[in-house]
Amino acid sequence: DHRDLHSFPTRRSSDLVENSLDAGATNISIYIEHGGIKSVTVIDNGHGIEEDDLYMAIQPHATSKIFEAEDLESISTLGFRGEALASIVEVAEVEIRSRFYKSDEAKYITVKGGEVVDKGDCALSVGTSINVSSLFYNTPARFKFLKTPKGEEANVTRLINDFMLSNPHISFEYSVDGELKSQNEGTGLLDTVYSVFGDDVAENLISVSFEEKHHKITGYIARPATNAVVGNKKKQTFIVNGRIFEDDTLSSVIQNAYGERLMKRTFPIAVIDIVMPFELVDVNV
């Protein structure tokens, strides 16, 4: 499916980080090279993978979660996206290193084109490290469906920023071509807002806090006429129950609330975190 190839490095980086979150990680490091086309590495301090399960994890049927999940809520929180690792190992070289939290030793497997080509012991503290390289080595025609390295990089960066903002109690570290791009302490939204937007912008954000029967809304929005008001909506981030979503209605509400305080075609940076009963969420959103 060509749509699945589009932004492959971004989508697969997303899958890897989701897996780290599913594993209960509180520390996640992401390293990409050449927009993630050359390599993507995600290292976490989650519960790790038992040796036997390393082989299971790359099988297409590794996901039984959807059959266990009783309702939409559990599906959404179990992080079911299905067969991410299986689809990556088919088209790239993948090294999975992991130390299970009950184990004294770490193991690795190297998988290429779906086959295990190497395995053994390695040194690692509890958690998992997954490195994806040689993308599309066996199907080079697929490269033409990717964006340029800069385009892929921009998408991965936006993705990681979204992960940071929607998981402000997790500490992330994100590096591009060996250079540290962002890092937060995992101590809450304010710290994360500084990491994502930089000090100059974050200083011009005002905190938002509102609560009524079913909704608790917190976040940060731009002070008018400052550099926290920008030329596009891409830096407006909406989170409902821990998940990022996009919604033009909410953007319009914000735009209208500022009214005359905004110059034409400018948009306030905003991070709006909504917590509400799951059954009141329109799942299409």
User: Of the ranges 76-84, 104-112, 123-131, 240-248, which one interacts with Mg ion (CB under 5 A)?
Assistant: 76-84
* Interacting residues with ligand ADP between 138 and 197 (CB under 6 A): none
Exactly one of 5, 62, 274, 276 binds ligand ADP (CB under 6 A); that residue is 62
Nearer to ligand ADP, 42 or 269 (CB): 42
**The tokens of 187 are what?**
């101590």
**The tokens of 222 are what?**
């731009």
Exactly one of 84, 111, 159, 239 binds ligand ADP (CB under 6 A); that residue is 84
Cross-strand partners of 218: 209, 273
- In the block, tokens 């919604």 appear at 247
Indicate if the alpha-carbon torsion angle 150, 152, 156, 159 is positive or negative. positive
- Give min distance, CB of 84 to Mg ion, in A: 4
User: Of the ranges 12-20, 67-75, 205-213, 277-285, which one interacts with ligand ADP (CB under 6 A)?
Assistant: 12-20
Site track 187-226 with Mg ion (rule: CB under 5 A), x = hit: ----------------------------------------
User: Of the ranges 58-66, 110-118, 177-185, 209-217, which one interacts with ligand ADP (CB under 6 A)?
Assistant: 58-66
Gap between the Cα atoms of 201 and 156, Å rounded: 21
Gap between the Cα atoms of 16 and 89, Å rounded: 12
Exactly one of 7, 29, 63, 237 binds ligand ADP (CB under 6 A); that residue is 63
Q: Which of 130, 123, 132 is nearest to 99 (CA)?
A: 123
Gap between the Cα atoms of 19 and 130, Å rounded: 10
User: Of the ranges 13-21, 38-46, 96-104, 184-192, which one interacts with Mg ion (CB under 5 A)?
Assistant: 13-21
Gap between the Cα atoms of 152 and 6, Å rounded: 10
Nearer to ligand ADP, 11 or 235 (CB): 11
Nearer to Mg ion, 19 or 167 (CB): 19
> Considering all CA atoms of the chain, what is the largest pairwise distance in Å, rounded to the nearest integer?
64
| Strand pairing report for 270-275 and 236-240 | parallel
What residue ranges bind Mg ion (CB under 5 A)? 19, 84
